[in-house]
Structure 1
């Protein structure tokens, strides 16, 4: 067990539907990593995209976390209340010449692997609504960091394109909101699925540009279907169980998916007992650095 008394982690779901087994593995990994470090574990609801967030979904997620024993510290943070903080950060990026307005539609650059930066030196169609993008060519590059499971990582953000910070419809995009909120909450460790690993270079650029601390990163394997598809709300992954027997079974399976090798008798234990075992025995070094785990 490694002890970092200043450890602050978080689980930050988008409330587009109930949690599923893939979500459970991400939440459990984040929770165990924080608790094994005697740290703080926060929950943030990333509800900045109302069209994707049906009524009641956030409450369902919070109830699911409670049912599985994943109890958080402090109050839940809701991104829809954070507009002023995001606007302040965007203005800082504009002042530094690192954000620019863009009128281009995805259809216009569909033949390119990433957005080609056509509006970097002036909006192509000033009469149209604009999004705000990050000047990935002017930020720190290349980006290097050490992932706690997958090891040394190097990306040039220019190869990933100029990510959107604020959409044409006025809604905030994920990258800026996440960086601003992680800094505001003092997050020291980000534990999440490996599907977000290639978002890290943009986030590191934003952290440097905004003067935010840079957390450690631990990217976890994804849970996939027999066809190799990531379990997700978009492809109708079944929600987590709500009966006591299946909750125990699913939590035990999530410990196995994280390569923690729980003893078989633990499968019948309560969530509190399973989590206590998981905290005591949590080991990142036990995990195989492979990108996928098959769903049961």
Structure 2
């Protein structure tokens, strides 16, 4: 009844014509561009003090929020919604990992981070509560396993999900926190190549390989294993091994926008056609892989295959 009463007296709002929106935005492109850059970076509307052009935007469009509303009509909502979701996830992961050793007071945070938290969670208390729940999920191996199976990036094997260091940010928040817990224990690993997220054991490994981009099937050099249950580290050195593990299907480890991904995928497709990848248990080590290549009369230089008659 109250909704009906409100609707009876509410004025009808005219929806702006999209062509008029485009014309208005085009006329003030230089004014709108800083707003777009801020939105792309922060995923939220700026506070007036964060955007130098806020007064001009308010004069032209009525408010910064109205300028963004027109922008969404012209460009569509999906892109901006995705940015907001990604930025919110980033802040949530930050809050979860900030629990080690103890989260700072809200007043001690940078201004822009305080604005982020208010925009995405309403309050610091709400954000921390959600972060605590995420941190708890990262300690639940069933939740970790489910997230590994649902991840859009990484090479999923029965034991673990392997991802390139550049793709960690593309993982679901629970896996980013899981990895972050391992990093708290392991510290920074120099020349890190891949992160191995164990699905059924509370462990994260940090793997260093030969030049990932240059070598078609790089060999493992070192591994740092963070045991999250026992809170200890194990270091394994493969540099003196005559038969170290090697990588295949490198495109699976990286995100779609990784510069060399297409090159990796082309090599894998050709190796598949030649049957070189048919025995995963054999080709997982350097000697096994070289034997398969030798038997097939094939050599690989860079990411190019040469067949020998």
Q: Give your verdict on TM over 0.5.
A: no
- What band does the TM-score fall into relative to the shorter chain? under 0.3
